[in-house]
Structure 1
């Protein structure tokens, strides 16, 4: 019963991943990054299908399928990495194909085994048989080299992805007053989930190693316990892969803009008046301390007077176009004088306004005040309020600070 359940879950998971990959490929025209996540999901589908064929005993019927998927595993890390690059508008090197060199090497090392007769391949998967030189080499490749290399390789790619996402967060906080549709929190979540998968995979490999030691020499750990010394039918890492596929599907349904983003409607032009003198001649030059202070003071005055911060989609580019100063110069003035990035500067103004409304208009709900002060959602408002006020809006309303 347990074996049948595992086979059913593997088959459904592989079919679901295959359908999802087709969906992502179809959306690649709207979002080219979908090609990489589509290939990533398709690779999951093929690996899961290969595991299903193995557990169902179909390799004895179709022995030419033995080992054909092994070269795909080292492609997972590069595909997710290239997806992260594309999502953050970074171009991969023209030599991006080098990322897939390990897969090509493993495919070449597998050729001698794959060209063997069906009888020799069946001998490879049959227990307690003499393998022969080619089968022994392939067994070492599959059981030792590929798992060890892939665990290390994918870990390195995940570290690179985390660095990309960290830089992306810094970048968008310097340009946007909101993060809901521009941050890549879902990809951060997915990367963390895959990190957990790596740990589960490592545990699975260690258990498999222990089983082989128990069978071959009795030198394994706790060989007297059946769970540590017998062939297993349940692998947590395999179930984790299936959960990962369903997680991608969940985000595709919950946040479809991730996979086929729509172009936002152009924001109405800002009018800051003539108080801020523009200087396009030195658009990419650093401002002097005095000029940065002067620019920020006038900008801050206009933003507060016109309540520009209540625009929920306000960006630094919009302010730059309205003032005639470059984005670089405005960012420098805000950072240098206020000590904050653009995101924190605007959201601090929103929270200060919200504090006033919470006390002066008790009849309004927290959500009403959140929307009125420029936040797109209740959760974004709560997160910002706790960040800047060190308490929730409800707590602030119940016990406002006593003015000194």
Structure 2
């Protein structure tokens, strides 16, 4: 008969499996444009799902059977942090050139755990080591080879935790600076969400690491493990909630000519004054006309101009110029900054939609044309038209009624 803590762990693990699978389905529904970055969140959810499956099996299987299955399940813990790191690298526009190398440690750990399992099972059969229902734990009286391998696994895990946490935070901070430069006010929602995800995963991984070390060196506490796994379930639930309420945050732009240069950071500028001398030498009159024609073509493509993560470097890549050249042409020949140019095209579409679809919610229209929130849409709309979307819709509906009468 299961104890209370066993029942609690089983329930949490089953809920976690369901929540992870639900999150994976939500992320897959975001489409091909979102898959390149979201694949790492999908992989992260799948890894944690495997950990939850392991916990379910722990409740029903004998200690020796769990020991034999350890090489199949335990190494996946080492794949979760690289997945989060690769996700932040992808959304920051600096994808890793060879992501598979970040998971090489999983294979090495798998071999090490298989060796530990074999040594332990051999000593258990010889009655040299006691394996209880609470698991092996860390036994200093264990054979020297087992002790050495366990210490090596612990050292690798702690080193990986510290290294990836530093890399993830550095990547996220760089990304926040890029978002502030490229998306302006509309990037606040994006920055807030990525920072929330960063803090949540950092806290959960820190707790999970501390609990496992405590579990190995002091005593096994099922309740602490349950708390850690509850944290993963809550993170999955939060991500699912954000996808449902603000799906634009999980859409990654699909740019023609490739996704960008891996491992290279592009810092855009929207100030023509500092680059006018350089840009004038790079952009002659024929090139200016070509860029303007290309921009006219781009604004008719909804998948580009309505992309919620459209930025100066991405638009420049689609047009086929550098960000400085595009910024120069926009400011000097079109008379608009990058933000004003993109927002003016979007607002033109919004004007039509507000009148043609009077029953459609303003937030729905804002998201459909590339804005991440209603507040930033209202600010851009008022800056360009001098009124709010609701007031504009009410005024035009009144005109229509007056014409009918």
Tell me which interval the TM-score lies in, with the shorter structure as reference length.
Answer: 0.5 to 0.7
TM-score by length of 2: 0.56
In structure 2, how many angstroms separate the alpha carbons of the residues matched to 1:381 and 1:132? 62
State the match for 1:247 in structure 2.
238
Secondary structure, counterpart of 2:231 in structure 1: helix
Gapped runs of 5+ residues in structure 1?
A: 216-228, 264-283, 352-366, 395-404
State the match for 2:75 in structure 1.
71
1:43–1:231 Cα change, 3 Å? closer
**1:149, CA displacement in angstroms?**
2.0
**1:44, CA displacement in angstroms?**
0.9
In structure 2, how many angstroms separate the alpha carbons of the residues matched to 1:369 and 1:214? 53
TM-score by length of 1: 0.56
**1:335, CA displacement in angstroms?**
6.1
1:201–1:257 Cα change, 3 Å? closer
Secondary structure, counterpart of 1:106 in structure 2: helix
In structure 2, how many angstroms separate the alpha carbons of the residues matched to 1:72 and 1:369? 40
In terms of Rg, which structure is larger? Answer: 1
Match of 1:98 among 98, 101, 109: 101
Q: Deviations over 1:48-67 (max 9, x none)?
A: 22234446665355431235
**1:13, CA displacement in angstroms?**
0.7
> What are the residue-to-residue correspondences of 1:4-403 with 2, within 5 Å?
4-18=7-21, 20-21=23-24, 31-54=35-58, 58-66=62-70, 68-87=72-91, 91-94=95-98, 96-116=99-119, 118=121, 119=124, 122=131, 125-126=135-136, 131-133=141-143, 135-142=146-153, 144-163=154-173, 165-166=175-176, 169=179, 172-173=182-183, 189=193, 192-203=196-207, 205-206=209-210, 232-254=223-245, 255=247, 258=250, 286-287=279-280, 328-334=324-330, 341-343=337-339, 380=373, 382-383=375-376
Tell me if the contact between 2:8 and 2:226 (Cα under 8 Å) persists in the aligned partners: no
In structure 2, how many angstroms separate the alpha carbons of the residues matched to 1:53 and 1:336? 66
Tell me if the contact between 1:71 and 1:106 (Cα under 8 Å) persists in the aligned partners: yes
1:249–1:169 Cα change, 3 Å? same
**1:286, CA displacement in angstroms?**
0.9
Tell me if the contact between 1:173 and 1:342 (Cα under 8 Å) persists in the aligned partners: no
Secondary structure, counterpart of 2:280 in structure 1: coil
Aligned CA RMSD, in angstroms, stands at: 6.1
1:231–1:49 Cα change, 3 Å? closer
1:42–1:138 Cα change, 3 Å? same
Q: Deviations over 1:65-90 (max 9, x none)?
A: 23543322232232233344455665
Q: Which has the higher contact order (CA 8 A, sep 6+)?
A: 2
Q: Deviations over 1:211-258 (max 9, x none)?
A: 77766xxxxxxxxxxxxx966455433211112223343345452894
**Which structure is higher in helix share?**
2
1:11–1:141 Cα change, 3 Å? farther
Secondary structure, counterpart of 2:96 in structure 1: coil
Paired residues, number? 336
In structure 2, how many angstroms separate the alpha carbons of the residues matched to 1:324 and 1:77? 36
Structure 1 window deviating more from structure 2 (378-387 vs 76-85): it is 378-387
State the match for 1:280 in structure 2.
none
Tell me if the contact between 1:155 and 1:195 (Cα under 8 Å) persists in the aligned partners: no
In structure 1, how many angstroms separate the alpha carbons of the residues matched to 2:367 and 2:197? 33
Gapped runs of 5+ residues in structure 2?
A: 256-276, 348-360, 390-405
In structure 1, how many angstroms separate the alpha carbons of the residues matched to 2:118 and 2:194? 38
